[in-house]
A and B are shown apart, each in its own frame.
Chain A
Amino acid sequence: MKKIWLTILILILAVALVAGCGGPAQQSQQGSSSNNTSGTSTPAKDSIVIALQGEPTTLDPQYPDDGNMRAVTDNVFERLLELDGKTLEPKPGLATDIKAVDSTTWQLTLREGVKFHNGDPFTAEDAVFSIKRIIDPAYKSQIAGNFSTIKDAKVVDAKTIQIITDGPDPILPKRLTKLDIVDKKYVEANPDKVATAPVGTGPYQVESWNRGVDIKIKAFDGYWGNKPAIKAATYRFIQEGSTRLSALKAGEIDLAVNMLPEYVDQLPEYKTSDGIEFTFLRFNTLRGPMKNKLIRQAACYAIDRDTLAKSLFMGYANVAQGQMAKPGYFGFNDSLKPYPYDPEKAKQLLKEAGYNGEVIQLVSERGRWLKDGELSEAVASMLTDAGFNVKLTFLSWQEWLDTLFNVEKAPDIMFSSNGNELFDMDRFYQAIIKTGGPQSTYSNPEIDKKITEARNEMDTQKRLQLYKELSQAVYDDPFGIPLLNLKDIYGMSKNLDWEPRQDSRITVYEMKLK
């Protein structure tokens, strides 16, 4: 008998032993967070819980291109200029004033009485250091591309700095709204701590980062500006959308990002804002059937964008206004309207073009953007209905990226999406339209000339006019089809009061509890 029980005991013990391994390690993990409230059902009155889609890779705000990190660092760090959440125009931040000295020199006056979270005063040295750090090739910032026009920065006096660009750069103020200011002394003294224990000047400071579990921030007592209404916030990382929905319904969290249109009815409360992503089809105008302008125009008439927005996205998407911009983007052309849905006209144009039914490749991917696969399938079937012989291929994200940048081997039509974070049309034209741009399958010397002219034009009105002409030009001779601007859907608890922003930033300092 003894042996029998021994057998069973060994079986159970073997498993229990493995279980034991988890114990101490878990405790040590918990040890780093003094007051673990992750998952607590009702947050205290002046603190909130926010569910992100994933954990930030680092909290060094100058290094990666990471949306989960921005959700935290946008509250912890500040920029020389800030973006207005409604108008998308730059406004004073750590700099109270910016002016162009000459065509390549900008002068900024810095705010006084600003302190970092560790007590260090914010100085002109910190501002210059932050700018130099992000453009230093050795630092390999993933967002350095936003600042590629900046050549140098220098201290003029205690409260003035100058930024020097490699040519006229009218977008510089907008670029600065993406450049987080770090503490020079702290970064130099603690190179290893920058990624995990960030020190900024923002309204909140990081209290703890319990890896894998949560990040906590609390209001910074020495903040120079208005004290935020929310005293503390906890970020949790919940990848799965339906789990974020459940957590919201169970009252465990107050705000959840990236909710699906299908969930809206179940959410306690929700708000939407126009997102920054524009889905579009890119034509290969350099070779193949899409080289023919008539065939490209036919494709533009073949897509029923209203139906896509209403049925596929249940209304949580806006039809792009014939361009890759919405009102508020610098260069938005309000006289442009999308090509109307007219399959008969498409068929007629195809006939005129002498299209003989040759295969048109449409390359897409699945799972990167909301309903990207479904959207591509719908588009393919609309093109087929209008007389195109479309072959739709789905690639993995990796293959898709390689195809996107391998302009030489570009398919006839490529499904893509573009998030213009500077809200200025320059980058779109540089990357997607200009001959030789990294994603460009388009070439027109006159348009190229205008793009360069616009980049160097310091007169705002003239530059705006150039972009209006450009958008009209790539509309008449289509580079592709701007499809939809997807809306951001935020799930919220009933007592949270916050207006989502046009730039998709999650600003705890602008939130209140009812």
Chain B
Amino acid sequence: MKRYIIMRLLYTVVVILGVSILVFIITHVIGNPVNTMLPLQATDAERAALKHQLGLDKPLMVQLSEFLSGMFRLDFGKSWWQQVPALGIVLHKIPATLQLVATALIIAVMVAIPLGIIAAYKPGTILDRVLTTASLIGICLPPFWVGLMFVLFFAVKLGWFYTSGYGTIRHLILPALTLAVVPMGHLAQIVRFSMAEQLNAQYSTTARAKGASDFSVLFAHALKNAATSIVTMGGMDLGRLLAGETAAVEVVFGWPGFGTLIVDTIGRQDFPLLQAEVFLVAVIICFINLAVDISYGYFDPRIRY
């Protein structure tokens, strides 16, 4: 186990390094941020001066080595637009996104797991079909649109929540609910599918034959065995949401999180900030994957590292 975790951590370092270099090269090849930063009518001399100021006139390899040596010290340089250390900006924005994503996942788990279990328990019934269809619709609806509809109904028409902003629970509910819709659909489907599979398995039939109650079969046997797929899906959803899939929802609700920051950064071509963001996302995703993998051992004792 220890050896496995150490190997995985080393692997994580390689992945982060690879991703960072890739992003560095892509951003530097794509275009010239100097044009984005200056007004359209700036003179050639102004452009050249800014390029020099940002160090963009140095050879690419020199820039890359400076970037890498900075990265190991967790120093990504100052954001070109905000003139403060890039990593600080990212770290400042992460809590708001975590708060949103965590609330969304809690909502998704609380709704999807019971519903998925009920659907699996009564397969083929109207209830099952309604739940399956509803979860499919949930997955297919664009969060952006769902968010706007929520705003129109719950904020503008009913006035229960704020249309946008940050700070109170009344600001949080609508974006969290919007963000929960897709994971809710995913989870409900995966719970329904893996539970049905487990309930049809030999051991469930045996347990029932021995006189075990439905409740015991469902929760003591099937749910635990289904948990590996549920955790895998949950982990993937968590990773995707943190990596910027919240962006659309954050933009709709004016939520001051990581997603809005990433959208803004790409628009402004703020290289140091972009690199700090990619670095942090890579770290987060690697660790979520690691946590998911380790949890397998708990849910399925047959898995050994």
Contact A405 B256 (CB under 8 A): no
Stretch of A78-86, A242-250, A442-450 that contacts chain B: A242-250
Contact B102 A7 (CB under 8 A): no
Contact A213 B39 (CB under 8 A): no
Contact A236 B106 (CB under 8 A): no
Against A, the Cβ 8 Å flags (1 = close, 0 = not) of B206-240 are 00000000001001100110010011001000100
Stretch of A34-42, A87-95, A293-301, A463-471 that contacts chain B: A34-42
Contact A26 B101 (CB under 8 A): no
Q: Find the B residue at minimum CB distance from A417.
A: B40
- Contacting residues, chain A, for B168 (C-beta < 8 A): 39
**A7-B223, A240-B251 known; A439+B41 contact, CB < 8 A:** yes
- Contacting residues, chain B, for A148 (C-beta < 8 A): 43, 46
Contact B254 A142 (CB under 8 A): no
Docked Cα-Cα span, A165 to B272, in Å, equals 37
**A18-B98, A398-B36 known; A39+B220 contact, CB < 8 A:** no
Docked Cα-Cα span, A218 to B39, in Å, equals 31
Against B, the Cβ 8 Å flags (1 = close, 0 = not) of A396-427 are 11110110110000000000111100000001
Contact A246 B39 (CB under 8 A): no
Docked Cα-Cα span, A38 to B110, in Å, equals 30
Determine how close the nearest CB of chain A comes to the CB of B224; give it in whole angstroms: 6
Against B, the Cβ 8 Å flags (1 = close, 0 = not) of A1-15 are 101100110111001
* A225 beta carbon closer than 8 Å to chain B: no
Contact B41 A431 (CB under 8 A): yes
Partner of A213, one of B151, B166, B268: B166
Q: Find the B residue at minimum CB distance from A192.
A: B84
* A373 beta carbon closer than 8 Å to chain B: no
Contact B41 A250 (CB under 8 A): no
* A57 beta carbon closer than 8 Å to chain B: yes
Q: Find the A residue at minimum CB distance from B53.
A: A140
- Contacting residues, chain A, for B252 (C-beta < 8 A): 240, 242-243
Determine how close the nearest CB of chain A comes to the CB of B92; give it in whole angstroms: 7
Contact A213 B167 (CB under 8 A): yes
Contact A26 B99 (CB under 8 A): yes
Docked Cα-Cα span, A195 to B44, in Å, equals 27
**A140-B53, A246-B163 known; A18+B109 contact, CB < 8 A:** no
Against A, the Cβ 8 Å flags (1 = close, 0 = not) of B96-115 are 10111111011001100100
- Contacting residues, chain A, for B269 (C-beta < 8 A): 398
Docked Cα-Cα span, A240 to B251, in Å, equals 6
Partner of A212, one of B100, B103, B110, B256: B256
Q: Find the B residue at minimum CB distance from A436.
A: B44
* A119 beta carbon closer than 8 Å to chain B: no
- Contacting residues, chain A, for B156 (C-beta < 8 A): 246, 249-250
Partner of B227, one of A7, A54, A144, A212: A7
* B142 beta carbon closer than 8 Å to chain A: no
- Contacting residues, chain A, for B81 (C-beta < 8 A): 57-58, 64
* A189 beta carbon closer than 8 Å to chain B: no
Contact A18 B35 (CB under 8 A): no
Docked Cα-Cα span, A117 to B172, in Å, equals 36
* A462 beta carbon closer than 8 Å to chain B: no
Against B, the Cβ 8 Å flags (1 = close, 0 = not) of A425-442 are 001101100000011000
Q: By CB atoms of chain A within 10 A, which of B36, B167, B171, B251 has the most?
A: B167
- Contacting residues, chain B, for A195 (C-beta < 8 A): 82-84
Contact A19 B251 (CB under 8 A): no
Q: Find the A residue at minimum CB distance from B165.
A: A39
Docked Cα-Cα span, A240 to B257, in Å, equals 15
- Contacting residues, chain A, for B256 (C-beta < 8 A): 55, 211-213, 237
Determine how close the nearest CB of chain A comes to the CB of B21; give it in whole angstroms: 20
Interface residues of B in 90-137 (CB under 8 A from A): 92-93, 95-96, 98-103, 105-106, 109-110, 113
Contact B93 A212 (CB under 8 A): yes
- Contacting residues, chain B, for A250 (C-beta < 8 A): 155-156, 159, 162-163
Determine how close the nearest CB of chain A comes to the CB of B151; give it in whole angstroms: 5
Contact B152 A246 (CB under 8 A): yes
Contact B40 A404 (CB under 8 A): yes
Docked Cα-Cα span, A160 to B208, in Å, equals 97
Contact A252 B162 (CB under 8 A): yes
Q: Find the A residue at minimum CB distance from B224.
A: A7
Partner of B254, one of A140, A145, A238: A238
Docked Cα-Cα span, A397 to B36, in Å, equals 8
Contact B40 A4 (CB under 8 A): no
Contact A242 B148 (CB under 8 A): yes
Q: By CB atoms of chain B within 10 A, which of A3, A239, A417, A419 has the most?
A: A239
- Contacting residues, chain B, for A213 (C-beta < 8 A): 165-167, 256
Contact A236 B41 (CB under 8 A): no
* A25 beta carbon closer than 8 Å to chain B: yes
Docked Cα-Cα span, A145 to B168, in Å, equals 43
**A39-B167, A398-B31, A439-B41 known; A246+B95 contact, CB < 8 A:** no
* A21 beta carbon closer than 8 Å to chain B: yes
Q: Find the B residue at minimum CB distance from A20.
A: B102
* B32 beta carbon closer than 8 Å to chain A: yes
Contact B109 A237 (CB under 8 A): no
Contact A7 B299 (CB under 8 A): yes
Contact A243 B41 (CB under 8 A): no
Q: Find the A residue at minimum CB distance from B263.
A: A239
* B279 beta carbon closer than 8 Å to chain A: no
Docked Cα-Cα span, A250 to B101, in Å, equals 26
* B68 beta carbon closer than 8 Å to chain A: no
**A19-B102, A38-B165, A242-B148 known; A401+B254 contact, CB < 8 A:** no
Determine how close the nearest CB of chain A comes to the CB of B291; give it in whole angstroms: 8
**A16-B102, A236-B254 known; A438+B44 contact, CB < 8 A:** yes
Interface residues of B in 35-92 (CB under 8 A from A): 35-44, 46-47, 49-50, 53, 81-84, 92
* B164 beta carbon closer than 8 Å to chain A: yes
Determine how close the nearest CB of chain A comes to the CB of B64; give it in whole angstroms: 20
Contact B231 A212 (CB under 8 A): no
- 7 nearest A-B residue pairs (beta carbon): A212-B256, A22-B99, A19-B102, A25-B95, A398-B31, A39-B165, A401-B35
Query: What are 24 A-B interface contacts by the 8 Å CB criterion?
Result: A1-B216, A7-B223, A7-B299, A8-B223, A11-B230, A12-B106, A15-B109, A21-B99, A22-B100, A26-B99, A39-B167, A137-B49, A212-B92, A212-B93, A212-B166, A242-B148, A243-B148, A243-B151, A243-B253, A252-B165, A398-B33, A402-B35, A430-B41, A439-B41
Which residues of B does A touch, CB under 8 Å? 30-33, 35-44, 46-47, 49-50, 53, 81-84, 92-93, 95-96, 98-103, 105-106, 109-110, 113, 148, 151-152, 155-156, 159, 162-168, 170-171, 216, 219-220, 223-224, 227, 230-231, 234, 238, 251-254, 256-257, 260, 263-264, 267-269, 298-299
